[in-house]
A and B are shown apart, each in its own frame.
Chain A
Amino acid sequence: MRDLLKHPVFLLAAAVILLPLAVRPAIASEIWIFAMFGLGLNLILGYTGLLSFGQSTFFGSAAYVAGWLLKHYGINVVFALGIGAGVGALSAAVVGYLCVQRSGLYFIMLTFALNQMFYFIAYQWTTVTGGEDGMPGVPRPALFGIDFKDPLTYYAFVSLLFLVSLWVMKRIVESPLGKILQAIRENEVRAQAVGYNAARFKLLAFVIGGAFSGVAGVLYAMLFGIVPLEAIGFVTSGNVVFATLIGGSGSLYGPVIGSFVFIWLSESVSTLWARWPLLLGVAFVIVVLFLRGGVVEAWTRFWTWRSSKQKA
């Protein structure tokens, strides 16, 4: 039994099953969707070492396009998810192409600025996106006869997709591609010297991350029945970065934990105090100044400290 407990997959499966007992299925779904979003970001951030501060571009664009098609053309769920991945990947390719040639500060600013551009396009193109009011009326069509209108059924679907995406991401990071990306993160010049076209691999990381973000975006739109403008805004971009960092960008599961913590924080605190972004900002500051490794590091530091106390 102990061995079983060590196996993260088992524990994740348990979390997936137990979660809807603790929170409403809608929030539970949101957690897994956000975790998927974080996985996409972490490929770029944690594994390739690029701080992309415009992930919501891919998340939001996919949501809008798929939402539009779902709403006006009644496409089916599988197609919608495929579109989501495609749009996410495509927008990531565009943004990535413009950005990977730069590094460091430049890169961050560019991803942010391009995110803003997409945001303003969505804001102004009210006939399509609804502008500030978002795109309401996104349906949740049935698949293979299963009706997703029931929140619990949809949750099962979402969590299943999440587990699949986690498995896919695991395979990617453990593959040669994953190793190359990490090599680029550690020392780009050396990787380049060994013969890897760093720019091309960075772009690839972008595209894959974008695809994950896109799928998450479509699931998000279907969850809430609306594509809000914020889905493509910089706050969403910031949130996913924060969630990933707080979970710990060094591990595959970091974004998952971060998603839990973040969604929990924002859902519970926001109903208590309208000024809760202040606390969020303070949390950011504290994490940065004192808890760099995120929850995972804090936890291990705590245990190391405790076990050293026990020894003494």
Chain B
Amino acid sequence: MLYALMGLGLSLITGILNIPNFAHGALFAVGAYLLVSAVNAIGNFWIGLLVAPLGVALLGLAIEYAGIRRLYAAGHDYQLLFTFGLSLILAEGIILIWGPVGISQLPPPLLRGGVDLGFTFYPKYRLFVMVVAGLLVLLTWLFLEKTRYGAIMRAGIENKEMVSLLGIDIQRLFTVAFALGAYLAGIAGALTAPIRGLSPGMGVDMLGIAFVVVALGGLGNLLGAIAAGLIIGVAQALVAAYWTEASTVVIFAVMAAVLLVRPQGLFGIR
């Protein structure tokens, strides 16, 4: 489910802005760390969970404003270099602010411990994450499908010129899209924090998986990204139960296999 969140956010950014956002993983990490600081400062996990992703969205806004918007015409290599450089700055910044040590963050007292599902014990917090992430995905999808602005965003993925010809401020669209993508990454990170623990490099692995999800779902296809995220998550869990070592490799192998057969991804249209 988390993979779907990350994939959705990245798909939004790559689809609308047509930029390889190599900082997406770093945004994920920042979300997690902001959660820890928020919880330490405010003392309440729930408020922290609300606040942290907003912080990341703000960061996304700043990044878009200060840098990305200058690079729309620049060509992918420079966009890549920029976001890659950004990811380095963010990761090192995390180390400077929070230290290089791994931190741990406990779930809120309400969600500690496990639930006896009969056939197995399952941690309460993980159930919570599944539900919340699922809700978020649903909400985002509803926003994109059912609201007018969402429709504009989807149109923007399809055909930017047409949208701007229709008199819609394409720059604002881009900014919102980036901020929204950043928000999704941030909340994915914040939700993950109590599960995996934090470390400055936590964004890197997530980045690769996010790219796989987007590629698998088809570039620019938001629903595809969601579906791909779920598929990948399930595949990984299944493999992990039998052949733990291969569980991460499987993600990429699935992507490679699908792309051999269908180069445009499972649901891609381009």
Which residues of A pack against B, CB within 8 Å?
45, 51, 53, 98, 101-102, 104-106, 108-110, 112-114, 116-117, 120-121, 124, 234, 238, 241-242, 245, 249, 275, 277-278, 280-285, 287-289, 292
Contacts and interface: CB of A to CB of B under 8 A. Distances in A.
Interface string B234-258: 0000000000011011001101100
A51 B80 contact: yes
B166 interface: no
Nearest to B70: A289
A116 B205 CA distance: 9
A281 B77 contact: no
A116 B86 contact: no
B135 interface: no
Interface string B88-100: 1101110110000
B259 A110 contact: yes
A245 to B, nearest CB: 6
Given A281-B87, A288-B78, A292-B78, 10 more contacts: A101-B263, A105-B14, A105-B18, A108-B76, A109-B211, A110-B259, A117-B252, A234-B208, A285-B85, A288-B81
Interface string B45-88: 00000000000000000000001001100101111111011111
A285 B215 contact: no
A108 B86 CA distance: 17
A282 B249 contact: no
Given A109-B20, A289-B82, A278 B208 contact: no
B89 A282 contact: yes
Contact of B93 (A53, A121, A278): A278
B214 interface: yes
Interface of B: 14, 18-20, 22, 67, 70-71, 74, 76-82, 84-89, 91-93, 95-96, 204, 208, 211-212, 214-215, 219, 245-246, 248-249, 252-253, 255-256, 259-260, 263
Nearest to B93: A278
Contacts of A280: 85, 88
A7 B263 CA distance: 46
B181 to A, nearest CB: 14
A238 B249 CA distance: 21
A125 B198 CA distance: 26
B14 A275 contact: no
A138 to B, nearest CB: 24
Nearest to B89: A281
Contacts of A101: 263
Given A120-B248, A277-B91, A288 B96 contact: no
Contacts of B204: 234
Tell me which of A114, A117, A241 has the highest count of chain B C-beta atoms within 10 A of its own C-beta: A117
Contacts of A281: 84-89, 92
A45 B77 contact: yes
